[in-house]
Every structure is written in structure tokens, then in C-alpha cells.
Structure 1
Amino acid sequence: MPQSISPPATSALGSAIRVMVVDDSVFVRGIVSRWLSEDPAFELVGTFSNGKAALGDLDRVQPDVVILDLEMPEMDGLTALPLILKQRRNTTVIVASALSRRGAEVSLKALTLGAADYLPKPDATKGTFATDDFKRELMEKVRSLGLKVLRQAGRAPLAPPPTAQPQAAALPSQPRGPIRLRPYSVSDVSLIAVGSSTGGPQALTRLFAVLGPYIDRIPVVITQHMPPTFTALLAEHVTRAAGRQAAEGQDGEALRAGRIYIAPGGKHMLLERDGPRTLIRLSDGPAVNFCKPAVDPMFDTVAQIYRRNALALVLTGMGSDGARGAGIIADAGGSVIVQDEETSVVWGMPGATASAGNASEVLPLQAIGPKVIAMLARRRG
């Protein structure tokens, strides 16, 4: 049975992030609801077993964030998603799906329809659903996206209790004061390295639809925070957008100009010099910045090999992964462009990079492609 709670109340202490959970699994609704209810930053405003029931109560409960399962009876998430966004334009939607190719396909389709982010769900039948990693990822995504909704609506978030521990990975980084910019390298660009997370699949396809025809003389490496299966499907989407071959990087593979290499889910993608060649090395080391693959390890090796000939792009994403590695690239003489806050789904990774003074320029997504094309046009010989 659907359950809904009263509409929002104002408070001098600030606003909690109002969350609706839509999932046909009683178990999933129960455990996610419990997690949310245990944190005063969130207010659970409704739980529903299908999209049709959720739509019927949407205007009354006024959620800031909807966690929307994609596989449901009566009305599935893919059908409900555009209806939710049409009915509540200021609500953000996180879609949830199984860790399978079908789940990845539907999740990426949902992103094209306006979902802000996705959650690959562990298999509840195998007892792996209530894992610490999944709980942390869910709570961080709801928190980061919810805070953006509150800011856009002019609503102050609830202050955390004095005993609360800061959640650096969850909160978007906000530069304090003027952003200090690094100079662009005057050397030719020999490689483009891209880091992205929340909102990244949408940003990557838009960016490489512009850049594709101009990368024939250099390779591109990308780390997008995604699990296995999802990264292989992302490569297919980027291939179609760019008109150039994109694929998961393979251990020992030599980089080739005109190719796009995406870090496979569950592995860090590093680069290694082998005489005149640059090879991909996949690492099964521990997560970095709670991520695997992570951007920082890739950026570190990019800086070691390409130095002033490296161009790094830090796109939309939660947390701060890539900020440290971008600083290493900048220290080595390379260039770093970060996506601006307005066009980012979450200004965590790019905001942290800019705040640290590691960016050469902060640009809206639609301006990054033309800027990169202009930099590639000056290549000599």
C-alpha cells in the first residue's frame, strides 16, 4: 500500500531534504526508509510501490528528491520519470536498477530522459543489498542532489547536529572567495584525460558529440565513476556520440590516436610509458576517494608521462575525486579545464578542483568543446 506523509512545513532552523521512495520491493522500501529516517537532514515524505501511485500523491507531498526503481508493475520507472519531471519541475530523480546489462541500458536511457543520477542495486536475494558501500552511495547522492534543490529554491538546509561528522565526499565543494587560476600550457596537447561522476554520462555524450571529429591525432582517456557492465555500455554511447571508437581500456593495451579509452568499472585505469608507447595498466588496488575506478590515480600517471602536453577536464560529479590529480597535472605544466557550477548536476569534483586553485579555466559545458578544439588546432607538424 502507498504511504504518504504531510506536505512541507517551514522552520527557522532550515529545511530537511524531502525524499520519496518508489520501489515495488517491500524490503527495499523498508530499509531505504529506515536509513533516511535515521538522518535528521532528510524527511521521508512517502513510499510507493509503483510509479502510478507516486504520481497521484506527488503534488501533495512535494518531494525534493525521488528515488525511483525502474522495474515495477503497473507503471515502471522509465514511464513515470518524464511524468514526474513534468509535474514537479523542481524535483530531482535518482533512478535505481539491477547490476545487469539490462539495468545499465535502462539506467542510461533514464539519464537521457532527465534523471539526475542512477543507483545500481545489489542483489537483495543474495543478502548483499544492505551493504555499507551501497548505503553510503545512496545517502551521499540524495544529500548532494537534495542540497542543490534546496539552494535553487532558496531554502536553507538544516544545520547538522554538533556531534555530526562531516561528510566530505557527500557535499559539493564551494570555493571561498575568488578562484585562483593556473596558466594554460603553451605546449601542444598530446592527450586528453577526463574525470566525471554524477551527471557525467550526459556530459560526456554532449561533449564528445562536439569533440569527436577533432581527436584523430591524440588519444583520450576517461574515468567515470561507474560499476562493471555500466562502463561497457557507456563506451557504446560515447562511440555513437563521437563517431570515434570508445571502449573499456584493456590491461597492456597501447594508446592509439583517435581512440577513447574508458576505465572499466571496478578497476583503476593507469598509464605506463613503454619506450615510445603509452600502455594502459589496470589496477585492482583499493578504492580511492571511495571510488573504483577513481580519477586521481589516472591523473597522477597522466602527469608523469605527458606533463605540459596533458589536458585534463574535470566534469560534473559528487565529491572531490580528481582535484588532487588535477593539481599534479597543473604542477607538471599541463592544462586543466573544469565545468562550471551552473551546468553541473553536482559541482563537487569540479568545484573542489577550482577551489584548490588547480584549474586553468572554469567553463560551462557547452564552451568546453570549442575551447578544446581551439587548443588542438594549434598543434604543430
Structure 2
Amino acid sequence: MRSAIYQALFVAGLGFLLFEAIVAVRANMQARGIPTDFGFLDNVAGFDINQSLISYSATSTYGRAFLVGFLNTCLVSAIGLVLATITGFAVGVARLSKNWAVARFSMVYVESLRNVPLLLQLLFWYNAVLKALPAPRESYALPFGAYLNNRGLFAPELVFGPGAPWVVAALLASVATAIVAQRLARARRLRAGAGLRLGVAAAILILVMPVAAFVLAGRPISLALPELKGFNFVGGVRLLPEFVALVLGLSLYTAAFIAEVVRAGMQAVPRGQSEAAAALGLSRALALRLVVAPQAMRVIVPLLTSQYLNLIKNSSLAVFIGYPDLVQVFAGTVLNQTGAAVQVIFITMAVYLAISLLASLAMNLYNRRFALVER
């Protein structure tokens, strides 16, 4: 009873302090003419945003501006996670390579990038690399009709016609059929020759069905190439220098930490597992893929979750290079114009908390595939 009384008194005291703080903040905000509710989200923003995944103009509302910043943050985080994962796993495996040059280069990469502050790396990519590129008329011509200059990366854009859904449906159907056929082959334990023929048939199916649908639908998908007109390129997809710098900085910086996680996970697997795989006649690559990697993932996945969360939160540093993410748009411009600091900061913190919790949930569900099942 005494313990319960102490806990009840503590909770009551904490609730009282929180209530008094809310009352005092509300009174001060009302005295200064600052809005105390969320009605300001319906007001006209009056400013433009140079990158938006949805329609937006200066006549849009603050709520629309919040949505633009939120989607930009999600876009950067998603692309950064993919690139950081691919690069980190490649560098982590390379650190264990028997090739002296590859192992040492990977070590230099890891030790160099993870010991330099991320903000400095973002400023380096933005000011020293991308801003130093030539003007649009002297752009670097890249493969597939893309161009790179100091105004960004201009790439071809896919243009979808009326029959495009049929092509996409054919592609999805062919991939699903190939996956089902592969699972059936594994279930029946087909011989190597039969499995190879099935794999070739699945590859042909994935290629033939979408191509046939593309031709029959009248070629509804085309490419819009960027063209130089005047002092800039017109058409295609434009990736802002701020976006490219942010993605490069986040992915390469986080990849250095992921590489160390991968290396530690690989080395945590007992050496006898690799020796047993070699005794069975497996090559080093097969032993790594079929024996070492599945066991190492039990160590890698929990630590990988922390690095993913760090990348998502570090995306807020985009404000220092001018990329319109959630912090720059909502916690910056909207806050300065409305003065509703409490509501804006609360919403921003809640969004990052929700994204991080969802990412943690997804990684925990994925971790169940590799966790040891105990009785």
C-alpha cells in the first residue's frame, strides 16, 4: 500500500505540474496574439516550395505545405535507406575480403566517413562538388539521355498513356507467376537441370508478357527526354542539387556504420560453420550466401534498425543545405510566419516519432525470420 501511495502521489504531482505548464503557456500565447489551436493550418501559406511530390502553389494552405515537407522527408529517407543498405552490405563484405587492396580500401572508407560529422559531409557534397559543376550549356552528358550540371540532375521521364495499366498488370502477373513457379520447384526439390530450365522459362515469361502487352496496347509508355532550351533544360525529371547532396551524404555516411555492423555480424558466426561449408564442397560465395549470411543476420538486423532510425532523423539536417523537408518547410517557414511554435514543434516531433516507431516495427517483424525459435 505504501508503495502504491507513493506512486499515486508522484503521478498526481507530475500531472499537476504538466497542467500548470499548459495553462501558463496558453495564457502567454493568448497575451501575445499567438494562435493556441491548429486552425492556422487552414490559412494560406503565401510561399512557394521548389520541390513537391504533389500539387502546391503559394495559394495553398499551411496544412498542404506540411504535407509537402512530410512527403519530401519520406522520399529522402526511403532512397537513403535503400542506397545505404546496398553500399553498407557491399563494403562490410569487402572488409572481410582476402584481397588486400579491397579490404584496405573498405577500411579507409569506413574510418574516413564515420569519423567526419555528417553536416560537414552534406556541405561538402553541396558546395564543393555539386555547386562546382558547369552551367547547363556545358552539362555533363550521362547515359540514357541524362545531364548533370550545377542546377541538378536532369533525367528522362516516363510518360504513361491510356494503355499503361495493362502493361503494368502484365508485368506484375508475370513476376507473380515466376515466383510461384520457383516456390513449387523448391517444394518438389527438382533436379539441377530441371530447376535451370524452370528458371530460364520464368525469365522468358517475365520478359515476353510485358513486351507483348506493350505492343498490343499501342506502346502507351514513352520517354520524355530533357532538352536544352535557352539557359536551362526543359522536360524530363529534375533532381535538385540539394536533394542529390542530401541523399549522397546520408546514404554514404550511414553506409559506413552499416558496413561495421555487417562485418561484426559476419565475424560473430563461428569459424567452424565456414569450414563445414567448405567440407561439403561449397564455394566461398555459396558458403557466404547459404551458411554465414543467414546466421549473421541474427546479429545484424537489431543493430541495423538503429542505423535506419539514425538516417531518418538525420534527414532533418536538410535545412542547412536548403532542401525543403519537413523541418525546413514546416518547423522553419511556417513557424516563422504563424508564430505557433508549440503546435508546429509538437507536430514535427510527433511525425518523426511515428516514422521511427513504424520503422522499428517493420524491422522487428523482419527480425522474426532470423531469430532463434526456442521451446
> If the TM-score is normalised by the length of the shorter chain, which range does it land in?
under 0.3
Higher relative contact order (CA 8 A, sep 6+): 2
Greater percentage in strand: 1
Greater percentage in helix: 2
Q: Please, what TM-score do these two structures have when normalized by structure 2?
A: 0.22
Larger Cα Rg: Structure 1 or Structure 2? 2
